[in-house]
Amino acid sequence: MTTDAYLNELRRRLHGLSDSERADVMDFYTEYIEDANLTSGDAVVDKLGSPKRLARKVLADYSIKENETAEQKGEQRTPRSNATMVWMIVLAVLSTPVTIPAAIAIVAVLIAVVAVAVALVGSGLVIAVVLIGGGIAVAGVSLYTGVYMMFTNVLVGVAYLGIGLTGIGAVLILIPLCFYILRFLIQISANFIRFLYRKFSNRRQQPKGDR
């Protein structure tokens, strides 16, 4: 592989970036390769890793940067954007060979946190669906029963209608409440995963004598 082939593959793998961001990355690494006097593709791979690995790292870094910029501006990140950032981080970590014990520990913790976060959010989603679905079912049955009973026993019918309307009110409260709780769980999980990745990246970039 030549240096041009390396850079071409790197450019092709940066499909998640805008044209200007991709251009900035390519300019940076083109200049880096020239300044480091890396004259062959093998030399570039030894220094920077494979194009696939480097691209995943770049995409993870840009995703984290976008997340932090939005946070500094006071903008709320959507669950989708947080999930994208976590996925980019996971891909970057899995593609990186890890040999330092401390870094291995960080990677193990990061993977465990991702698994716990997915399980936690998944459980929260199931609970939300059960609560909302149960509320809708209770409200529907109660309203139907209330309307039916109005023709035979008005007081009982009114009671059932009251239960049905209460169920509808509970569902209307549960829907946004569950949404915000799930969003909060995703946000704090994403923030912690981002923090661990920063620790992992800093550990890899430290000079060997400092480790």
Asked whether residue 85 is assigned to any structural domain, the reply reads yes
pLDDT of residue 48: 84
- Which residue, among 119, 69, 109, has the nearest Cα to 89 in the 3D structure? 109
The DSSP call for residue 91 is H
Taking residues 16-42, report their average pLDDT: 86
Q: How far is CA 141 from the centre of its chain?
A: 39
pLDDT of residue 103: 59
Q: Which domain holds residue 96?
A: 79-210
pLDDT tens sequence across 152-193: 888 888 998 898 899 888 888 888 888 888 888 888 888 888
Question: Residues near 109 by Cβ (< 8 Å), separated by ≥ 6?
Answer: 196
Buried/exposed code over 157-179 (b: 16+ C-beta within 10 A; e: otherwise): beebbebbeebbebbeebeeebe
Asked whether residue 148 is assigned to any structural domain, the reply reads yes
The SS3 assignment for 18 reads coil
**Window from 6-20, 92-106, 107-121 with minimum mean pLDDT:** 92-106
Asked whether residue 99 is assigned to any structural domain, the reply reads yes
Query: Is pLDDT at 207 greater than 50 in this prediction?
Result: no
Asked whether residue 63 is assigned to any structural domain, the reply reads no
Q: How far is CA 184 from the centre of its chain?
A: 12
Taking residues 4-31, report their average pLDDT: 88
Query: Is pLDDT at 112 greater than 50 in this prediction?
Result: yes
Our count of domains for the chain comes to 1
pLDDT of residue 40: 81
**∠ Cα 71 75 77 (to 5°):** 75
Asked whether residue 177 is assigned to any structural domain, the reply reads yes
Taking residues 120-144, report their average pLDDT: 86
pLDDT of residue 100: 54
pLDDT of residue 171: 87
Asked whether residue 52 is assigned to any structural domain, the reply reads no
Query: Is pLDDT at 65 greater than 50 in this prediction?
Result: yes
